[in-house]
Every structure is written in C-alpha cells, then in structure tokens.
Amino acid sequence: MNIEQITQPFIRKFPGDFSGNPMQRNTPKVLFATISPAGFEHPKLITFNQHLSEEIGLGKFEEKDLDFLVGNNLPENIQPYATAYAGHQFGNWAGQLGDGRAILAGQIENKGKKTEIQWKGAGATPYSRHADGRAVLRSSVREYLMSEAMHHLGIPTTRALSLALTGEEVIRDIMYNGNPQLEKGAVVIRTAESFLRFGHFELLSSQKEYKTLQELVDFTIENYFPEIISTGIQRYKDFFQSVCTRTADLAVEWFRVGFVHGVMNTDNMSILGLTIDYGPYSMMDEYDLNFTPNTTDLPGRRYAFGKQGQISQWNLWQLANALYPLIKDEKFLEDTLNNFGTYFWNTHDKMLCKKFGFDTLNKDDEDFFTNWQALMQELQLDYTLFFSRLENLTEDTDLKEYFQDISYTVLGEEYIKKLNDFIRRYHLRLSLNTISREESLEIMKKTNPKFVLRNYLLYECIEEISNGNNSMLKKLTTALENPYKEIYPEFSVKRPDRYNDIAGCSMLSCSS
C-alpha cells in the first residue's frame, strides 16, 4: 500500500495540541490533539476492501500492511491525531466531545479526489471521556458492512477499507444493564472525503474562537464545496444553504431505503451530508414511523424513523447558531431553515413517486402517501419486501396469500379488505402515468432495493466471524454490492420470529 502518500493538511492548517498526551481532558482553543494508536501485538486481518484501496490511491494490500491497518509501526510521514468537536446529544448541549475511538492517519489524494483515512478502535484519545478508545468485533463488523452497503445503495456515506482483530479482549455492557462481558477487540479503517461534523463548528463558536471558525469554514469550502464561488458574507450564506440541501437530500435517501440512524446528535452529522457513525442503526423491517433501534432513545423516540427529517432541521438550527458570527443575518438563517421543511417534503414525495413507479408528483399524491403509511403501519408490512411484491403484482393475485408472508401480524379479513382497497387505488393512480408500465417498473427497480442489510443478518454474521467462519461475511458482501438484484433469495425474507427479542437483531444500545 502507498501509505507514504498520506499527507496531513489539517494539522498544518489549524491550532492543535502536539503533546501526544492521551489523558482525557479539555483542550480549549485547538481543533485536534496528536496521539499514538495503542499498538496491538497479535492482529489478524478479517477482510480488506481492495477495490476501495485502489480507488483512493492506496493500491494493493501486502502482508506487511497489516501493521498499518491497526496503527502499528507507523512511518514518519504519519502523525496520528484526534479532532475536537462539541455537540448537542439527545437535544442537550454536551460541551466538548471529540474523536473518542477514532484516530486520523491523514489524507490521500488520487486523481484530484481527497480522502481522509481514520482508524476506529485503535486506542484512547484525549476525547475518550473515561473510555478506552477500543472497539469490539460486533460494532466493527456492523460499521464495515453497513457503510459499504449504503455506498452500493447509492447513498452518501463514509466507507470502510479494512476490518481486523486486535488480539485483545474488550469489556462491554452491550445493553447498559449491568452485565458487562469480554468481547473480541477489532479495528476498522474508515474513509471519507472529510470527517468534519456540525460539532467542529459548534465547538469553535461556543468558545468564541471566531477567527478559527472563519478559517475552518473557508478551508471546508475550498476543499469540499467547489461550487461556491461567492465572496464575503454571501460565501458563508451559500455554504449554509448547501449544507441544508445536502442534509435534506441525505435524510430523504434514508427514507427511501428504510435506514434509521438511531443517534442523530449534532456531533454525528457530517458537514458534507454523509451518513456517518454507524452505531445503533437499523434497516427497517416492519414499517413503523415510530421505530427507533436505539435503547437509549427510549421512551422519547427522538430519533425514530419518521422524525429524521425533523431532527435534521433541528440540528441545522444549531449549526445556524454556530455560524451566525460569520453570517450575521438572522432573517436569512430563519428563512433558510423555515424553507427546509418545504424542500425536504417535496423531495421526499418525489422519491416516493419513484418507489411507486409514478412519473410525476400529482396534487393528490400526498393524501395517497398518507393512506399508504397508515396501511403499512396497521398491517405491519415489511418495508423493503412490500415494494418488491408491488412490482410483481397482477390483477389475479390472491392478496392474502401474496402479502401474508411479508407481514409481521396475521392479515385477517378486515386487513385484506383495506389492502384490496389500497391496491385498487394504486392501479387508478398508475393509470394517470404518461409513461408505459414497463417504464414505470424500470423506475421502481432502480429505486427499490431487493436486498437490505438487516440487523438479524448482521447478528448471524458476527456470530460466525466470532467462531472463525467468514463464509457469511463473503455472502453478505456480495449481496450488498448488488442491492438491486436478488442474488440470495434466502436474504430477501422478513425477519424470522426467533430474532424478535434478541439484542442486536432489532434493538441496540450506543455501546461499542
């Protein structure tokens, strides 16, 4: 691998703590602290993303590169560092946070494209908040596979380069219920154009470090928002508007595939509109606007599936407050944020049109979608499988037989009547299309995945890897790389009943 090409423009540009001290503490007036990974004597590679490595310019993996993948014996050109940021967690100001389990190696550029490279689980940093900075195999497998799954679904996301065992055991209380257990430690390398978050800007603004805040925004625009060519205050207005648009577009994409992030704190929001920090996430099984996969989010369900647009807007309000010292135009910020909902829901409804195979958004479609949502929730229909069935529906289809095996309840006579009424209405709506049924189906097939990475599949995969078996990992990797095809029909089924109450199959905690 070409790790000698890794550079570190961020730590050359901004104020930092170069002491290398891993003690957890506040680091005021700086954006990062240099730190060394813990080092692991007996690492073992589980999987390596060769295609991604070549795409970003690192090249082919060789056995000697295993050291780099876990942060061992680093060359002189790499000065690892962790960044400081702040944030609102579950609606409350949390103050200084930072990369508690993540350590940055730096940036590599290939064919004009910049990519940051980051270890997750390689040891403690000043921002670990009394934790050890390690990660367990369970969370590392989930991050590796789901970030790659989202990429192949066509959704903006961080990506995963490698997954390796550290040879250590880490103690974790998976459900925060007083039952800690030893688990296998692991390190995942994740990549992104940038890992900058809302929280980086919140930190500087909260500390009244306005000069550094302006430098950070300018740095971000110059490197990641080339479309912004304005100057002065307008430059910062255009930046905020672009972040709002990217954030809305991302949340709509989550709705398209049924992804629930689970912990949309402002420190988990990418300034580039990427899906970032794969913790207690879930792909939705039965359709439920109130579903949250995060036990820490109960009972309020702040980060439930149906609230992700609303929370995106709330988080953008916090970013607006942070950027106000640069923009200094309260009305602009208020108007931009008040328009967010209009843009979001219009984009959302156009997305739903594609899922149903409609060529345009009609004036009565909002009512159609509302009725559909109520039907899905009442009949507990599987979100992904419902649209697969809709594509193959014919006039002669026995609805009870056809939809029962994708429902998480018994479809009695009353439910079948409601389903029949909806299908009739759907066909009437399809008749308003100005495109052929074949063209309509093509739109649906490009929009609706046949495979999504469900939590119970991840649970099974983690169990197998823990026992030294990587066969399911390979199958899932093939499936997630081809989500709009049904390569493995056994994966395109609803969650089996036996997994309903198993931790990690539907509900998770924020624990690593």
CA neighbor of 196 nearest in space, from 167, 165, 215, 220: 220
Fill in the amino acid letter for 58. L
Strands 32-34 and 16-17: parallel
Q: Are 191 and 159 in contact (CB under 8 A)?
A: yes
Angle of helix 365-379 versus helix 413-430 axis, rounded to 10 = 150
DSSP string, 73-120: S--TT---EEE--EEEETTEEEEE---SSEEEEEEEEETTEEEEEEEE
Q: What angle do CA 163, 105, 279 make, to 5 degrees?
A: 45
3-class SS at 272? coil
Half-sphere exposure of 119 (CA within 13 A, CB side): 33
- Total Cβ atoms within 10 A of residue 272: 21
The pair phi, psi for residue 326, each rounded to 5°, is -95, -35
Q: Which residues of 275-309 are buried (b: 16+ CB within 10 A; e: fewer)?
A: bbbbbbbbbbbbbbeebbbbbbbeeeebbbbbbbb
The pair phi, psi for residue 507, each rounded to 5°, is -110, 145
Tokens of 131: 């934790």
Q: Is the dihedral of CA 170, 173, 178, 182 positive or negative?
A: negative
Fill in the amino acid letter for 504. G
Catalytic (active-site) positions = 267
Taking only Cα atoms into account, the Rg of the chain, rounded to an integer number of angstroms, comes to 23
Distance CA 103, CA 81 (A): 6
CA neighbor of 131 nearest in space, from 160, 85, 170, 188: 170
CA neighbor of 383 nearest in space, from 305, 437, 500, 440: 305
